[in-house]
């Protein structure tokens, strides 16, 4: 780039930079969260180094600043560095209790699952191997999990029926372990972007460095070639230290435009055929992984986005609103911002959510409260952040229906108080999770009831 770049050329570069932001946002956000996990932890999960599990000691609370964190299961999370060679994963017997170990590469692709749905609940060892590995698999290993990138996240969730169930979960956590196949090798960790790059260009520097260290699948690498004019494919010293002003302008404008596209894509869809207050549910939100589908995944056309370029925006939106969420066949997530009249949900009003029949699931279901725009759990005096079919003390009607009361203040009526989901003072977005959903959820024949305002 030179200072003679034309205005039209700069506009073109800005468009390209916006595309690069959409394409690279999941990688940058994912690796940033990996680093945050290792250095700061998440809520009750203490900072944890590579190749060790960090375990929650309680169900998630508002101090876990993670988008749409769930309050149904207890997390066990490991950031795995395979640059030193394969890792042996030992999984305990959960005696039929629900759990899932979800494997996510640094591009936020779910590429394998272990757990009740995928592989059963019995004890066993699994070998997690880096890209291109061709060594000898030890005896008695149940299977090999081939990682698409040298660093991956293992996101474990054990169903927990409340504080009294924590001793059982804690015992399982202690038997969930990682060990190197060859203790003589040493992993390399995360590559460090140049810390002196100006803040407004930091995203692109992170993308440049991490994209080189964690190459995606071949077709995605072909797509990346178009970002050459942005300096994203340059090796060695950062091209953003003393970048041409025209390039800086294009990158900063592209950053703004790219962010706007991701934010728009992660907001509720406008659909004239949907009735007011209908829950937005997309069992195919995480179908953007087109290339590496291993143990426990469903490698079928209906679980893949047909348009590869369209998958990049879908992937960015999923990372923005629900990073490390599961494929729909493991769990379906539904959310809404409005009541049955189409009004924005807000803590100044009281609402009900009536289930005439329990949602059709093989495992369990829940509804969790989040604020906006961060999608964090909402602090409340009752310490209740979600409720569902496993919540003790819920009051059902004689016909088996359940009416959830959503409001800011605790209801005076004891029945309503038992079924109370606290709301914040301002706007909010509840989310329903359906674990191991039945076919009627996946094909859309089952419809969740709308939230109804009481005033």
Residue among 341, 358, 359, 360 at smallest CA distance from 349: 341
**Pair 326, 303: CB distance under 8 Å:** no
Give the pair of three-digit tokens for residue 221: 């690498």
CA 55, CA 11: separation in Å to the nearest integer? 47
Residue 157's beta-bridge partner residues? 75, 100
Residue whose entry in the numeric block shows the structure tokens 């605790």? 410
Full DSSP string of 387-421: EETT-TT--B-TTS-EEEEEESSPPSSHHHHHTEE
Give the pair of three-digit tokens for residue 352: 């009900």
Sign of the torsion angle spanned by Cα atoms 403, 407, 410, 411: negative
Look at residue 263 and tell me whether its pLDDT is greater than 90. Answer: yes
**Pair 208, 193: CB distance under 8 Å:** yes
Do 258 and 305 share a domain, yes or no? no
In a domain, 5, yes or no: no
1 pLDDT tier (thresholds 50, 70, 90): very low
Burial class (CB in 10 A: 0-12, 13-18, 19+), 329: buried
pLDDT of residue 324: 93
Do 95 and 117 share a domain, yes or no? yes
Do 267 and 290 share a domain, yes or no? no
Look at residue 2 and tell me whether its pLDDT is greater than 50. Answer: no
Neighbours of 310 (CB within 10 A): 11
pLDDT of residue 6: 40
In a domain, 1, yes or no: no
Domain termination site, one of 221, 250, 271: 271
Look at residue 314 and tell me whether its pLDDT is greater than 60. Answer: yes
Look at residue 214 and tell me whether its pLDDT is greater than 60. Answer: yes
pLDDT of residue 107: 98
In a domain, 3, yes or no: no
- 150 SS3 class: coil
Burial class (CB in 10 A: 0-12, 13-18, 19+), 357: exposed
Look at residue 221 and tell me whether its pLDDT is greater than 60. Answer: yes
Do 41 and 124 share a domain, yes or no? yes
In a domain, 204, yes or no: yes
Do 267 and 288 share a domain, yes or no? no
Average pLDDT value for residue range 185-207: 94
Do 25 and 97 share a domain, yes or no? yes
Note the pTM of the prediction, 2 decimals. Answer: 0.87
Look at residue 274 and tell me whether its pLDDT is greater than 80. Answer: no
Q: How many domains does the chain have?
A: 2
62 pLDDT tier (thresholds 50, 70, 90): confident
Burial class (CB in 10 A: 0-12, 13-18, 19+), 211: buried
Do 83 and 226 share a domain, yes or no? yes
Average pLDDT value for residue range 113-122: 97
Do 264 and 307 share a domain, yes or no? no
CA 276, CA 73: separation in Å to the nearest integer? 31
Average pLDDT value for residue range 252-268: 93
pLDDT of residue 181: 93
Do 265 and 287 share a domain, yes or no? no
Do 243 and 300 share a domain, yes or no? no
Residue 124's beta-bridge partner residues? 91
Do 63 and 192 share a domain, yes or no? yes
Q: Structural domain of residue 335, as residue ranges?
A: 280-453
Give the pair of three-digit tokens for residue 95: 């005696």
Average pLDDT value for residue range 218-226: 96
Look at residue 234 and tell me whether its pLDDT is greater than 50. Answer: yes
Full DSSP string of 79-130: EEE-TT--EEEEE---TT--EEEEEEETT--EEEEEETTTT-SS-EEEEEE-
In a domain, 65, yes or no: yes
CA 53, CA 48: separation in Å to the nearest integer? 7
Look at residue 298 and tell me whether its pLDDT is greater than 80. Answer: yes
Q: Give the percent of the chain with pLDDT over 70.
A: 96
Domain termination site, one of 249, 271, 293: 271
CATH number of the domain that residue 403 is part of: 2.60.120.1600
Terminal Cα-to-Cα distance of the chain (whole angstroms)? 61
Contacts of 52 (CB under 8 A, 6+ apart): 78, 178
* pLDDT per residue as tens digits for the range 380-413: 988 999 999 989 899 999 999 999 999 999 999 9
5 pLDDT tier (thresholds 50, 70, 90): very low
**Pair 36, 19: CB distance under 8 Å:** no
Do 124 and 248 share a domain, yes or no? yes
Domain termination site, one of 271, 291, 309: 271
> H or E stretch including 54?
strand 53-55
Angle in degrees, 0-180, between the axes of helices 7-39 and 308-322, rounded to the nearest 10: 50
Give the pair of three-digit tokens for residue 296: 């426990």
pLDDT of residue 45: 87
Give the pair of three-digit tokens for residue 18: 């916006």
């Amino acid at each position: 780039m030179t200072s003679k770049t034309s205005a039209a050329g700069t506009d073109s570069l800005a468009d390209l930079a916006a595309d690069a932001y959409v394409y690279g946002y999941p990688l940058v956000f994912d690796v940033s969260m990996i680093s945050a996990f290792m250095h700061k932890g998440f809520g009750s999960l203490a900072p944890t180094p590579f190749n060790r599990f960090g375990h929650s000691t309680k169900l998630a609370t508002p101090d876990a600043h993670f988008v749409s964190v769930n309050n149904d299961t207890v997390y066990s999370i490991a950031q795995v560095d395979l640059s030193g060679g394969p890792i042996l994963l030992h999984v305990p017997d959960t005696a039929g209790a629900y759990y899932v170990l979800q494997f996510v590469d640094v591009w936020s692709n779910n590429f394998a699952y272990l757990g009740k749905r995928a592989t059963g609940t019995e004890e066993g060892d699994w070998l997690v191997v880096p890209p291109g590995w061709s060594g000898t698999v030890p005896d008695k290993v149940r299977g090999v999990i081939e990682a698409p990138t040298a660093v991956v996240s293992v996101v474990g969730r054990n169903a927990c029926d409340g504080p009294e169930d924590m001793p059982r979960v804690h015992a399982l956590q202690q038997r969930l372990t990682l060990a190197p196949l060859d203790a003589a090798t040493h992993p390399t960790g995360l590559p460090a972007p140049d810390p002196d790059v100006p803040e407004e260009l930091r995203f692109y520097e992170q993308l440049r460095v991490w994209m080189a260290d964690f190459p995606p699948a071949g077709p995605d690498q072909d797509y990346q070639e178009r970002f050459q004019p942005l300096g994203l494919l340059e090796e060695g010293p950062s091209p953003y230290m003393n970048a041409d002003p025209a390039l800086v302008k294009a990158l900063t404008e592209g950053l703004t435009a790219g962010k706007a596209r991701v934010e728009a894509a992660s907001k509720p869809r406008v659909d004239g055929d949907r009735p007011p207050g209908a829950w937005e549910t997309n069992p195919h939100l995480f179908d953007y992984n087109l290339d590496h589908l291993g143990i426990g995944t469903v490698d079928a056309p209906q679980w893949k986005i047909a348009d590869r370029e369209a998958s990049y925006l879908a992937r960015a939106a999923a990372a923005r609103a629900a990073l490390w969420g599961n494929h729909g066949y493991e769990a379906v997530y539904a959310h809404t911002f409005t009541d049955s009249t189409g009004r924005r949900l807000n803590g100044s009003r009281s609402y009900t959510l009536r289930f005439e029949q329990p949602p059709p699931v093989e495992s369990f279901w829940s509804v969790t409260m989040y604020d906006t725009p961060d999608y964090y759990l909402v602090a409340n005096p009752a310490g209740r952040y979600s409720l569902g079919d496993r919540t003790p003390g819920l009051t059902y009607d004689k016909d088996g229906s359940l009416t959830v009361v959503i409001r800011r203040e605790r209801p005076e009526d004891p029945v309503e108080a038992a079924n109370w989901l606290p709301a914040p003072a301002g706007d909010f977005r509840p989310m329903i999770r359906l674990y191991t959903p039945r076919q009627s959820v996946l094909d859309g024949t089952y419809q969740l009831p709308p939230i109804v305002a009481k005033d």
